[in-house]
Amino acid sequence: MRERHILGVSGGRDSAALAVHMRQTRPDLRLEYFFTDTGKELPEVYSFLDRLEGFLGQPIARLNPDRDFDFWMAEYGNFLPSPRTRWCTRQLKLRPLEHWLRADLEAGVTVHSYVAIRADEPSREGYTSTQSNMLVHLPLRDAGIDRKGVIDILRNADVGEPEYYDWRSRSGCTFCFFQQKIEWVRLAERHPDRFDEAVAYEKTAIDGGSPFTWSQGESLIALTKPDRVAQIKADYEKRLDRLRKRRPANPLSGRSPETIDDVYGIEEASAGCVICHK
Ligand code: SF4
């Protein structure tokens, strides 16, 4: 019986490090790398995928949804996706993956899926399938590789990290609702066209009667008023300062640098997902 070995890269560092790790430790496997493209990705994601492909020496399959974000937003009554109603992940990430695998899974092919859960995040469940012939493997966890280990793997392979980590904490759509307010401010500064697109979606949602905004409790327009931007930046700096005083830098500790999640005290596992943010 035929088998397939698949590895989904999200544009984030963990899944990229897993791809590198597998290439280095299991060159015997015929791994198929894939990326589910929502059509709302940052340009930095594509340049990172290009670099990763260069290291892997093979293409990363781009799985495109049959219907785009605009179609699904209209389908869901012009409501923005939110942590509680994540139609975006279901329709733009999982559905294309299911299409890609369906015929083989139904034919009884065993599909081995390699998922980037690290050793230092024990609470993550990984992508589980309802199909008994889809088997999930967690090689980073099995090899004891943590966040620092992931960064080292990417650095040593000369792949480096996606450039967006300079200003935001995780991969995913330009307007992902898991972003912190400081990340919205930075999106407006770095990619004003993408920010304007998010504003336009939010306006459509509010005009259509949706009570939800992208960022909890305030619209993007309110969030980017000069006074509010200054307040958000000052709050971020204050928190960062507090964190650094609590965790003074020690070059010998081998600890990886602070993330935005660290600054806001957010558990990584509760602020993102395996499919979009690894
Ligand atoms: S990255 Fe965010 S907005 Fe995009 S599909 Fe995932 S949860 Fe939805």
Please tell me the CATH superfamily of domain 3-166, with its number.
Answer: HUPs (3.40.50.620)
pLDDT number for residue 244: 87
Asked whether the beta carbons of 261 and 268 are under 8 A apart, the reply is yes
Find the residues whose C-beta lies inside 6 A of ligand 1.
38, 81, 86, 88-89, 92-93, 172-173, 176, 178, 276
Average pLDDT score over residue span 186-197: 97
- For residue 271, pLDDT over 60 is answered with no
> Measuring from atom 4 of ligand 1, which residue has the nearest CA?
173
pLDDT number for residue 158: 95
Index of the ligand 1 atom closest to the CA of residue 40: 4
**Domain boundaries, given as residue ranges, for the chain:** 3-166, 181-270
Query: What is the CA(88)–ligand 1 centre distance, in A?
Result: 6
Give residue-wise pLDDT tens across range 12-54: 999 999 999 999 999 999 999 999 999 999 999 999 999 999 9
Average pLDDT score over residue span 168-188: 93
Angle at Cα 181 formed by Cα 238 and Cα 269, nearest 5°? Answer: 90
pLDDT number for residue 263: 84
Query: What is the CA(80)–ligand 1 centre distance, in A?
Result: 11
Query: What is the CA(29)–ligand 1 centre distance, in A?
Result: 30
**Of 63-77, 91-105, 264-278, the least confident:** 264-278
Give residue-wise pLDDT tens across range 243-258: 888 876 665 555 566 7
> Measuring from atom 5 of ligand 1, which residue has the nearest CA?
89
**Of 49-63, 186-200, 215-229, 261-275, the least confident:** 261-275
Index of the ligand 1 atom closest to the CA of residue 276: 6
pLDDT number for residue 159: 96
Query: What is the CA(84)–ligand 1 centre distance, in A?
Result: 12
pLDDT number for residue 233: 97
Index of the ligand 1 atom closest to the CA of residue 172: 1
| Residue of 9, 36, 63, 178 best suited for mutating to test ligand 1, as the one with most atoms within 8 Å of CB | 178
Q: Can you tell me the distance from the alpha carbon of 20 to that of 150, in angstroms, rounded to the nearest whole number?
A: 10
Give residue-wise pLDDT tens across range 105-163: 999 999 999 999 999 886 656 556 677 899 999 999 999 999 999 999 999 999 999 99
Query: What is the CA(174)–ligand 1 centre distance, in A?
Result: 9
Q: How confident is the model at residue 214 (pLDDT cuts 50, 70, 90)?
A: very high
Query: What is the CA(27)–ligand 1 centre distance, in A?
Result: 32
Index of the ligand 1 atom closest to the CA of residue 171: 1
User: Which residue is it, tokens 């791809």?
Assistant: 19
pLDDT number for residue 126: 53
Index of the ligand 1 atom closest to the CA of residue 92: 5
Asked whether the beta carbons of 213 and 184 are under 8 A apart, the reply is no
> Measuring from atom 1 of ligand 1, which residue has the nearest CA?
172
pLDDT number for residue 245: 86
Mean pLDDT of the chain: 90
Query: What is the CA(123)–ligand 1 centre distance, in A?
Result: 20
Index of the ligand 1 atom closest to the CA of residue 93: 5
> DSSP for the chain?
--EEEEEE--SSHHHHHHHHHHHHH-TTS-EEEEEE--S---HHHHHHHHHHHHHHTSPPEEE--SS-HHHHHHHTTTPPP-SS--HHIIIIIIHHHHHHHHHHHHTT-EEEEE----TT-TT------S-TTEEEE-HHHHTT--HHHHHHHHHHTT----GGGGT-SS-S-TT-TT--HHHHHHHHHH-HHHHHHHHHHHHHHHHTT----SBTTB-HHHHTSHHHHHHHHHHHHHHHHHHHHHS---TTT-PPPP-HHHHHT--GGGSS-TTT--
> Measuring from atom 2 of ligand 1, which residue has the nearest CA?
176
Higher-confidence residue of 103 and 261: namely 103
Index of the ligand 1 atom closest to the CA of residue 175: 3
With a pLDDT cut of 70, the percent of the chain lying above it is: 91
